[in-house]
Amino acid sequence: MKYHFFLLLSLIAFGLVSCETTQVVHHKAPALPPEIQKAQDDVYGLENQMYQAQHDLAIAQIDEKEQELQYQKSANPAFSAQYTERFSKLEVLRANAENRYSLAQQWYSAVQNGDLDSAKSIQEQMNQP
């Protein structure tokens, strides 16, 4: 399942690259025809939904790990210090996921305002490891 998930993400990434390439080709041209603008807005809307779905997945995975740790901690109370450290790591992951989603919302806001330079810069921040 994980393999397929990453494969899907890579397919989308390839799609977006080819999408951006054609956009660059047309960048010099005047305003885009309305049907292209509409299709572009659809892509932005779905990209936004994708960021939301990825965020929900990340949070669900963290929740699952927390539940498992809680279960293990109850079964092994002697190792509670060790579990505290693991819980802290999960909280860092949760904060990272929230931060990424906050950037995604800024990206979508920039896109909707037609500020494509800011949108690109925000996406670059999001793609940083």
Partner 1 sequence: MCKPIFYIFLMSFIFAAPLRAQDISNAIAGVNRAQQRVWDVGLQLNAAIFKLNTLKLDWQKNELTAFLKEAQQKGDMDAAGKIQDKLNEIDHRKDLENQKLDLNNQLIAAKQQGDQGKADDLIFQLKNLQ
Contacting positions for partner 1 (CB under 8 A): 1, 4-5, 7-12, 14-16, 18-19, 22-23, 25-26, 29, 32-33, 35-36, 39-40, 42-43, 46-47, 49-50, 53-54, 56-57, 59-61, 63-64, 66-68, 70-71, 74
DSSP 4-36: HHHHHHHHHHHHHHHHHHHHHHHHTSSSPPHHH
Closest CB to partner 1 among 28 and 129? Answer: 28
Closest CB to partner 1 among 43 and 92? Answer: 43
Closest CB to partner 1 among 38 and 89? Answer: 38
Q: How far apart are CA 107 and CA 123, in angstroms?
A: 7
Q: Find the shortest distance in angstroms from Cβ 35 to partner 1.
A: 6
Q: How far apart are CA 1 and CA 56, in angstroms?
A: 17
The SS3 of residue 48 is helix
Closest CB to partner 1 among 8 and 92? Answer: 8
User: Residues in the chain, how many?
Assistant: 129
What would the two tokens of residue 29 be? Answer: 């041209």
Q: Find the shortest distance in angstroms from Cβ 91 to partner 1.
A: 16
